[in-house]
Chain A
Amino acid sequence: MFASYGLIVHLLVIIAIYGILSLSLNLVLGVTGLFSIAHAAFYGVGAYTSALLTMRGIPWVVAMPAGMVLAGIVAYIIGIPTVRLVGDYLAVVTLGLGEIARAVFRNWISVTRGPMGLPGIPSASIFGFTFGTAEQYLVLAAICLLVVYVICQRLLSSPFGRVLKAIREDQRATLALGKNVDRFKMWSFVIGAAMAGLAGSLFAHYIGFIDPSSFVMWLTFFLFLIIVLGGLGNNLGTVLATVVFVAAREGLRFVGLPDWINPAALQQFVFGMLLVVMTLFKPEGLIPARKVTYRRYRQRVEG
């Protein structure tokens, strides 16, 4: 095996960061059923905010939450006109938000340095302790992942989470129960965005360099694939699928390919086809959520 110790630690840190991202998208899309395609943008907002603040001397413990809050505020503003509309509008507006965010990262050169990116982002530190090495950073990222996971699990089993699932299953019936559907959708959207902002901050301070190309639509799509395979709405499945996919993606880099094949294109093609096949033949994911879905209920009743 040529996979060195350092490489494995690096892989684990990336898995932890992607785990947070996937869990946050799972909350928005998997649990609530909001078709948001701006997740990369919230991730980017968190990363840029946190990076820029620390580069101006503000401690990470303040900068990181600031990134989360800003991502949440952007989600809130986007949510105002859209959460009350049919789901397609959220898709349209979030697609646009993704584009606008990328344009801001690329074009607001006096602040973001545009396509040149931000180098020299300081490491994360808490009260004087700096997470300088990859191992230390892994501990930090893992703790964050654990916290996010616990929050997501709690949300799922709380009354709030049950309303979210009800919205996904049947919005009309949920409305009839007298629930303020729009407010629940908004909260889910904002919390999901803030969590993506956290992942962005972790990423920025780990790599030490960010540029607009880290926050493209393709990333959101990759997360789609993860949560669909993990079983929409299933947090544990989401984390496991993250491990498999991030590892597979990094692994694909080491496969010897003939030079006429563009590895990025191949990866995109394989993952695209995989998602089509999954949705067609196994829509409940590889690890279905452990609740009584309608399909299973029907199977049970019909024998």
Chain B
Amino acid sequence: MQGNNSGSRDTILEIQDLVAGYGASEVLHGISMDIQVGEIVTMVGANGAGKTTTLRSICGLTNIRGGTVLFKGLKTTGKAPHVMSARGLAFVPQERSIFPSLSVHENLEMGGYRLADDGRFEERVERVYGRFPVLDQRRKQRAGTLSGGERRMLAIGRGLMSNPDLLMLDEPSLGLAPKLVEEVFRHIQEIHEDGTTVFVVEQNARRALSIADRAYVIELGRIRHQGSGQELLQDPEVQRAYLGG
């Protein structure tokens, strides 16, 4: 691992007092959090709390007013998104997460764009097809014609193609039928078990907390609670606000 200038050798992502927003409006009012190598971390919160904005800020897609974001010990502010991708960050957005007019296979190629010439493209793409057999059957199909669930799998597969050190997923279960939600979470768990550090943002708090090593609860642009997934599942306040009981 490179970049241990923050002292903690295993911290892959470290956010301190992040203040960010869009244009004139401030959405995040001082967020601090971190992710260690090998963890699966989740951030839960209501619609509009600032989860997507947090992820976008990490990728440098928002207007950052204060605080720092260190990825592998290096500042991310002002870096183009493709540079962050090259450094090992993968982001699967909540919407618009596939290229609809490209084929399934081409979508995966674009995900592994940077590495396409390292000679191990085939190996990676076959691993993704192995993980998501539905995609394997549809290699030549235009991605725009896939169902919602298939699109989600393709988006995750696209994120994996760059061999990321940190995979960030924005509400991967949103709008899916319960059976598919289970499938998506099973995949996320498997991806984590296979050695990828994962940061997943969810409104589906119960499901997300149950798979997470650690979790953050965000409310109106501020971190309200943090702890291990199990701790937060037991926390009465969190239960009342986010777990419907």
Interface residues of A (CB under 8 A from B): 294, 297-298, 301-302
* B201–chain A nearest beta-carbon distance, Å: 26
Cα–Cα, bound, A299→B24 (Å): 8
B23 at the interface (CB under 8 A from A): yes
Which parts of B55-69 form the interface with A (CB within 8 Å)?
none
Q: Nearest CB to that of A297 among chain B residues?
A: B24
Residues of B contacting A302 in the complex (Cβ-Cβ under 8 angstroms): 24
Cα–Cα, bound, A302→B23 (Å): 9
Q: Nearest CB to that of B26 among chain A residues?
A: A301
Residues of B contacting A297 in the complex (Cβ-Cβ under 8 angstroms): 24
Residues of A contacting B24 in the complex (Cβ-Cβ under 8 angstroms): 297-298, 301-302
Which parts of B9-55 form the interface with A (CB within 8 Å)?
23-24
Q: Nearest CB to that of A300 among chain B residues?
A: B24
What would 6 A/B residue contacts be, using CB atoms closer than 8 Å? A294-B23, A297-B24, A298-B23, A298-B24, A301-B24, A302-B24
* B88–chain A nearest beta-carbon distance, Å: 33
Cα–Cα, bound, A289→B131 (Å): 58
Q: Nearest CB to that of B65 among chain A residues?
A: A302
Residues of A contacting B23 in the complex (Cβ-Cβ under 8 angstroms): 294, 298
Cα–Cα, bound, A298→B23 (Å): 7
Cα–Cα, bound, A294→B23 (Å): 9
State the 6 A-B residue pairs at the shortest beta-carbon distance, nearest first.
Answer: A301-B24, A298-B24, A298-B23, A297-B24, A302-B24, A294-B23
Q: Nearest CB to that of B25 among chain A residues?
A: A301
Q: Nearest CB to that of B23 among chain A residues?
A: A298
Cα–Cα, bound, A121→B147 (Å): 68
Q: Nearest CB to that of A298 among chain B residues?
A: B24
* A172–chain B nearest beta-carbon distance, Å: 16
Cα–Cα, bound, A90→B43 (Å): 46
Cα–Cα, bound, A294→B24 (Å): 9
Cα–Cα, bound, A125→B24 (Å): 56
Residues of B contacting A298 in the complex (Cβ-Cβ under 8 angstroms): 23-24
Cα–Cα, bound, A162→B23 (Å): 23
Q: Nearest CB to that of A299 among chain B residues?
A: B24
Cα–Cα, bound, A297→B23 (Å): 10
Cα–Cα, bound, A301→B24 (Å): 7
* A169–chain B nearest beta-carbon distance, Å: 13
* A101–chain B nearest beta-carbon distance, Å: 37
